[in-house]
Structure formats: structure tokens, C-alpha cells
Amino acid sequence: MPSRYQSVLSEIGTAVINELAERNSDREQALSVSREVIRLSANAIRAVHRGEFDDAKELIKKGDARLRDADHIRGSSPSIFNAGFMNDARKEFTEANVTLAVISGADIPSISDLKVDAAAYINGMAEVIGELRRFILDALRRDAIEGCQEFMDIMDEMYGVLVTIDFPEGVTSGLRHNTDAMRGVLERTRGDLTMALRQHSLEARLAEWENTQTKN
């Protein structure tokens, strides 16, 4: 014989199933969005390094559209909207946008421009330092030294911003670890650039001396 709680328990079970079904649907969509945004952002960064800025912009535009597809999850499943994999997607999206802006000489987009949270934005900016190192090293390999110092200065300025942000790791999503890592990237790049500049200067003086000897 059914107890007096049967109908109530049935209603509870139905309510729980409906809520978890919606949450699971949100999770599946969020996972799909995050994977695609990370892929599009990585491809955009590769395009930037190849000098294909229009292609990078198109990839970033697609990434932005996918992030917007998940905006509704903020209200229905806030824990999923703020999950680590979604924050990673927003971080990579920021990295792609800022990398494109700096290397192409455009204005750096703001947090509100990208519609991401502050922690994702600043962690994405931290990783841009690594992309600028890659850009400088590629330039040095091509013997294209002109302009490298400016990018080194930008790396310094970005790092200067990172070290001023002193909040618990739970608030900044691991920024301190990224900042520490970027300090090493910064110093290695400074050393590589200094050596390249010295070598370039030496080669220029040697070429000048050889030219003088030829004339004599």
C-alpha cells in the first residue's frame, strides 16, 4: 500500500530529474563550446604568426559567436558557466585577441570588448607574453631585428601589470603561477635579444671595416 509520501516523493524525483537533465544539457553544450573556442583561438594565433591577420580575425569572430551561444548557461547553470573548462576557453579567446592586436599594431581590446571576466582576461594576457617571445625569436631567425625591442618593451609592460594584481588564487584563477612562469619567459627573451643585438652590431662593424679595407 502506498505511503502518504508517495506522490510527494514522485514529484521530487521528477523535479530533480528535470533540473539535472537541463544541467547536463548545459554541460554538454558548454563542453562543445569550450573545445571549439580553444581550437579556433589556437588556429587564430597560428594565423597571426604567419601574418595572416584577416584569417585570424575570421577565426576569432567564429570563436566569439560560439561563446555567445553559451551565454544563456550563465542563468540556467552558473556553476557550469564558471567551470574551469569554460574559463580556459575565455582565457584562450583573450590570448588570441590580444596577440592579434599587439602583433598587427591595433588597439588592445578591453575586458568589456571581449565580454569575458577579469580573471580569464588577465590570464589570457599573461600567455600573450609567451606568444610575443615566439614572435621575437621568429624575427631573429629571419634576421629581422628591427622592431624586436618594441615587442620586448610590450612584454615588460604586460608583466608590470601582472605583478600589481595581488589577490588569492581562487579569485585570479592561478594568475600567480602564470606570472612566475612569464618572468622566466621574459628574462630568457631579454637574453636572446641582447645577444642578437650585440651580434648584429658586431657584424655591422665588421662589414664596415671590410668595406674600408676594400677601398684602401
Say yes or no: 164 and 186 in one domain.
yes
Domain-terminating residue out of 81, 108, 135: 108
pLDDT digits (tens, 9 = 90+) for 151-175: 999 999 999 999 999 999 889 998 9
Q: How many Å apart are CA 138 and CA 122, to the nearest integer?
A: 25
Mean pLDDT within 47-57: 97
Query: What mean pLDDT, rounded, does the chain reach?
Result: 90
Residues of the chain with pLDDT > 70: what percent?
A: 92
Mean pLDDT within 46-64: 97
Domain-terminating residue out of 51, 78, 108: 108
pLDDT band at 195; cut points 50, 70, 90: confident
Say yes or no: 59 and 139 in one domain.
no
Cell numbers for 197: 643585438
Q: How many Å apart are CA 204 and CA 142, to the nearest integer?
A: 16
Domain of residue 163: give its range: 117-216
Q: How many Å apart are CA 214 and CA 106, to the nearest integer?
A: 46
Say yes or no: 122 and 209 in one domain.
yes
The answer to whether the predicted template modeling score (pTM) of the entire model surpasses 0.75 is yes
Q: How many Å apart are CA 116 and CA 89, to the nearest integer?
A: 10
Domain-terminating residue out of 65, 88, 108: 108
Among candidate residues 61, 74, 62, the one with its CA nearest the CA of residue 29: 74
pLDDT band at 187; cut points 50, 70, 90: very high
Say yes or no: 128 and 192 in one domain.
yes
Domain count, the chain: 2
Say yes or no: 83 and 145 in one domain.
no
